[in-house]
Structure 1
Amino acid sequence: MTTASRPPGPDDGFVPPQFEAEEFEGLRVDSSGMPLGPRRVLPLEDEPTTLVARYLFPTERYRGEWKRHWVHLWTPLLIGAAATFLLGYLSGFLARQESASGFTTVAVIVWLGVMGWVAWNVADWYFDRFILTNKRVMVVNGIITRKVAMMPLARVTDMKYEQSPVGRMLNYGTFVLESAGQDQALREVKHLPNPNELYLRVVEEMYEPQAVEARLGKNADPGDDA
């Protein structure tokens, strides 16, 4: 009579190995193939927007673009709110004055000028982008006069980011890039969102480009790192 085989258990003196949760951190991945854990980098984007695509040459690979944190608009929005409050107060005050109709018109014109300035700053914020490719980092800004500043990744000798206490609470920071050359078109970029994740993204692109290509499911061309 044949005895059916069964897996060993505690009755046979077999003790299964015990694993800690931290040992599985490197094995967990999300739907995009990104490892889950405390040091996660931002997911990679596939295609640039039309605003950015015109500044990329065919052989470089797009990694992402970011608008500055909304705190970049704090000053113009605060001025716009203060101007609106002041206009309301002046309108009520001047309405009680019999010969002050001309002052009300002037106040409204000044308010419109302030709100136009606020709208301009919001539009400028929207078109302001920080861009990363496998070759360089760039900042593109300006509405009428466009400014494009860039630094090749191969020339970056030092990079850091700084966060004030408010920046840590709201999750934004300032990036400082140092280059081998003395004249730098791009050195300090303020109010970037998710600075720690963005820092890891840039560092990975600088030192582990093969890992980025593997995560994207692509084979890096031999000439890409030249």
Structure 2
Amino acid sequence: MGFLAAVSDPHIGRHLLREEGEVIVDEVRKHWVAFVRPALEASLGLSALVAVPFAHVNLGWILLLACAGLLLHAAWLTLREARDRFVITNMRVFRVHGVLSTHLATMPLSRILDISVRKPLHGRVLGFGHFCFESAAQEQGLRDIRHVGSPDQRDLVIQRVVQRAGLRGPRVPN
């Protein structure tokens, strides 16, 4: 495993209840659209870096610091988005995110009352959407999941897992 892969991996496996038979049904990474802002910042930083040799001698170091700041911020944003994972298991859904510290938000399948899928116009064109989970609890750590690729298929996966767990009642035959 390379350095970048090791740094950007949130190690989902250590959050699973293997002894209880929990298995991953789907691991959702951010859609590529979430990486557009960091890519634009990095491009701006690199293009400004090219301009450093043409800058005035007394102002060149300021431009160099600005370039370094932009590139570091772009790297931070990229790492933040790469480490953000939404996981669907046979028992629960959870989200792991964070760079220096890790935040884990979990919701058992039995507590999911409603899932809203929001697809803005550009999301419909580019193939992403946002999930909004509703549960009986007022405040929860797992409410909005943004930039989910193929949101309709992922919604069906969650509905299938909930149905197979027997949490929505028996299927009515046609």
State TM-score, norm by structure 2: 0.82
Partner of 2:127: 171
1:205 aligns with 2:161: yes
Cα RMSD between the aligned structures? Answer: 1.8
State TM-score, norm by structure 1: 0.64
Q: Structure 2 CA distance, aligned partners of 1:108 and 1:86?
A: 8
Q: Structure 2 CA distance, aligned partners of 1:194 and 1:183?
A: 27
Contact kept, 8 Å, 2:92 with 2:107, in 1: the verdict is: yes
Rg: which structure is higher?
1
Q: Give the partner amino acid of 1:140.
A: V
CA shift for structure 1 position 208: 2.9
Q: How does 1:19-168 map to 2 (within 5 A)?
A: 51-58=11-18, 59=20, 60-89=22-51, 91-92=53-54, 94=55, 100-168=56-124
Identity %: 28
Counterparts in 2 of 1:194 and 1:122: CA distance versus 1, 3 Å: same
Partner of 2:5: none
Counterparts in 2 of 1:186 and 1:50: CA distance versus 1, 3 Å: closer
Contact kept, 8 Å, 2:27 with 2:87, in 1: the verdict is: yes
Q: Give the partner amino acid of 2:118.
A: E
Provide structure 2 residue ranges, at least 5 long, that are not aligned to the other structure: 1-8, 167-174
Count of equivalent residues: 156
CA shift for structure 1 position 91: 4.1
More relative contact order, 1 or 2 (CA 8 Å, 6+ apart) = 2
Partner of 1:23: none
Q: Give the partner amino acid of 2:16.
A: L
Provide structure 1 residue ranges, at least 5 long, that are not aligned to the other structure: 1-48, 95-99, 211-226
The 3-state SS of whatever aligns with 1:138 is: strand
Higher helix share: 2
